Structure 1
Amino acid sequence: MVNISINKPFKPLLIGKVGKAYGILGWISVFSFTEKEEKIFKYLPWFFYKEKKWTKVQINNWKKHKNNFIVQIKGISDRSKARKVTNSDILISKHKLPSLKKNEYYWNDIINYEVFNVDKHYLGKVTSLIRTKNNDILIIKNSLEKFNKNILIPFIENQIIKNIDTHYKYITVQWN
């Protein structure tokens, strides 16, 4: 039997960020980027990425703390070791996410989709999304010189977002 140790995620997906050390026993603050923040703990194992170096980590314990979490990582037992992982990105292998049905998508999948309005005018590419209290927002970048600005489009399905084509990777919007 061959024992293969994976030290880097397959198709890495960013799900959080390591904050500062918490206390003297090696706990660290963690910021979740998942839609429901506690779901970050369902996608294990985690990989920390900092300064072009990957580290696979195992969580011993975690707690909700104020608006984020504090986490105890196996092998990190004091504040000085915890400081070494501060500002690391937290990534997982993308296949850890639940499977989707046809025409469903994860937000990270629509990054780089082409965006057209209903009149078939090209608006640009999706560069990121912003979560707000009322509705989410698509950030579109058009590289044409005369439109070299970001376009912010509210992500309101059926009203503004008319179609998301996951096969051809484009989005149609009601936008001028």
Structure 2
Amino acid sequence: MINISINMPDQPLLIGKVGKSYGILGWTSISSFTEEPQKIFDYLPWFFFKEGQWTKIQIQNWKKHKNNFIVHIKGISDRSIIRNFTNADIMISKRTLPILKKNNYYWNDIINYKVFDINKNYLGIVIDLIRTKNNDILVVENKFNISKKNILIPFIENKIIKNVNTNNKFILVQWN
């Protein structure tokens, strides 16, 4: 019998992805989407989400493996069972994140923020963030431009990103 309970997280937040099974004893590889990859293990419990199904899991053990991690889930000791979770999203309840100080925010908090240039022209809304080696990039959905292409704005605080207003949910940028 597998010791897995079925529930759904409160305010689900994506933090990683399940890869393929590893070995024959029920281990699986995972990819972390957290800023510091190992911090994924600070945010427990995990919920696997695949094909509309939620499964709450408990990590029994984990190890660093190449550029990712391998994990062993409590109650699973067979490769054929863990294989069912390949490509599942790893989700947590948003409330498990540490509470931030005033005017600080998590990346997922600024999705759907409105973006204005310093002349108060509306540019669009934040639909994604891209991590790059040098700096992160805001992806802004451009609803007014004829080309309909997204606007990519480097997230360089004080130089390009002038203000992130968490109370009114907008971002002010130095952008033409």
TM range (shorter): over 0.9
The runs of 4+ residues in structure 1 deviating greater than 6 Å are: none
Shift of 1:101: 1.1
- CA RMSD, 1 decimal: 1.2
SS in 1 for 2:19: strand
Distance in 2 (CA, whole Å) between partners of 1:143 and 1:80 is 46
Percentage identity across paired residues of the two chains? 70
Which position in structure 1 is the counterpart of 2:139?
Answer: 139
Equivalent AA in structure 2 for residue 109 of structure 1? D
- The answer as to whether partners of 2:18 and 2:29 remain within 8 angstroms in 1 is yes
TM-score by length of 1: 0.95
Deviations 1:87-139 (A, max 9, x none): 10000111110101111100000001000000111111101101111111101
Which position in structure 2 is the counterpart of 1:90?
Answer: 90
Aligned length: 172
* Unpaired runs of at least 5, structure 1: none
- The answer as to whether partners of 2:6 and 2:54 remain within 8 angstroms in 1 is no
Matched, 1:57 2:82: no
Matched, 1:80 2:80: yes
SS in 2 for 1:14: strand
Which position in structure 2 is the counterpart of 1:163?
Answer: 163
Shift of 1:75: 2.0
- The answer as to whether partners of 2:161 and 2:174 remain within 8 angstroms in 1 is yes
Distance in 2 (CA, whole Å) between partners of 1:157 and 1:98 is 23
Which position in structure 1 is the counterpart of 2:106?
Answer: 106
SS in 2 for 1:82: helix
SS in 1 for 2:146: helix
Equivalent AA in structure 1 for residue 82 of structure 2? A
Equivalent AA in structure 1 for residue 136 of structure 2? D
Distance in 2 (CA, whole Å) between partners of 1:13 and 1:69 is 19
Which position in structure 1 is the counterpart of 2:175?
Answer: 175
Shift of 1:83: 0.8
Which position in structure 2 is the counterpart of 1:115?
Answer: 115
Shift of 1:145: 5.5
- Cα distance change on mapping 1:120 and 1:147 into 2, 3 Å: farther
Distance in 1 (CA, whole Å) between partners of 2:71 and 2:87 is 14
TM-score by length of 2: 0.95
